[in-house]
């Protein structure tokens, strides 16, 4: 199963003068209402003004997702010019298979068909839940807004798993 996340800095579209001295606030509720199906991982006030946001959104393409995010931000009085895109892969199926195998092995020790199938089902469910939480980065991109509705994507290196040393100039 794949999951895509988008991290961006949302700046005010206009200055305080346009709002009569009071700038609008970017809220979770506002994003949810303007971008259908968005999941908000993080939304915090940035020290230099605006907001830092990290959202989940499932769309056919990253371009479609960014266009929807951009449209929603404009409706709320904000804009973003650069977005970090991350494609995540989860191990739900693999976890279910591994959990089912372990549960089946335990269930076979009971020598009871009901016990076998119950342990198999419980193992598969637990394995799927654990596998769903195990996420690995599949791909990373930086998207730069070059015009309204137009984004340029640059592929970024994917950090290697583990704690070993990494080449100079790379970030985990």
Q: What is the pLDDT of residue 169?
A: 47
Least confident among 24-33, 52-61, 105-114, 159-168: 159-168
Residue 162 lies in a domain: no
Domain count across the chain: 2
Res 16 pLDDT > 70: no
Q: What is the pLDDT of residue 153?
A: 92
CATH at residue 65: 3.30.70
Query: Domain range holding 10?
Result: 2-89+135-156
- The DSSP symbol for 117 reads H
Q: In terms of domains, do 152 and 77 share one?
A: yes
Calpha distance 138→87 (Å, rounded):
5
Residues 19-46: tens digit of each pLDDT: 666 678 899 999 999 999 999 999 999 9
Calpha distance 102→123 (Å, rounded):
6
Q: In terms of domains, do 102 and 19 share one?
A: no
- Indicate the length of the chain as a whole number: 172
Q: In terms of domains, do 67 and 152 share one?
A: yes
Q: In terms of domains, do 122 and 40 share one?
A: no
Which bin fits 113, alpha (ψ -120 to 50), beta or left (φ > 0)? alpha
Whether pTM > 0.75 for this model: the answer is no
Q: In terms of domains, do 21 and 70 share one?
A: yes
CB 77 within 8 A of CB 24: yes
CB 100 within 8 A of CB 124: yes
Q: For the CA atoms of the chain, what is the radius of gyration?
A: 22
Q: In terms of domains, do 82 and 98 share one?
A: no
Percent of the chain residues past pLDDT 90, beyond the cut: 37
Residues 79-121: tens digit of each pLDDT: 999 999 998 776 665 666 666 677 667 777 777 777 777 776 7
CA atoms in the 13 A half-sphere facing the CB of 123: 19
């Amino acid at each position: 199963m794949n999951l895509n996340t988008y991290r961006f800095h949302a700046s005010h579209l206009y200055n305080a003068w346009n709002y009569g001295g009071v700038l609008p606030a970017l809220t979770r509720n506002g994003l949810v209402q303007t971008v259908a199906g968005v999941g908000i991982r993080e939304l915090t006030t940035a020290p230099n003004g605006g907001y830092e946001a990290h959202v989940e959104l499932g769309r056919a393409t990253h371009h479609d997702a960014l266009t929807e995010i951009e449209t929603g931000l404009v409706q709320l009085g904000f804009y973003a010019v650069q977005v970090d895109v991350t494609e995540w892969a989860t191990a739900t199926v693999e976890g279910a298979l591994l959990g089912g195998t372990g549960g089946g092995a335990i269930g076979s020790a009971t020598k009871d068909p009901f016990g076998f199938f119950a342990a198999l089902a419980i193992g598969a469910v637990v394995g799927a839940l654990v596998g769903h939480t195990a996420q690995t980065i599949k791909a990373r991109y930086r998207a730069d807004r070059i015009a309204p509705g137009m984004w340029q994507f640059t592929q970024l290196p994917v950090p290697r798993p583990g704690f070993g040393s990494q080449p100079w100039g790379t970030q985990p």
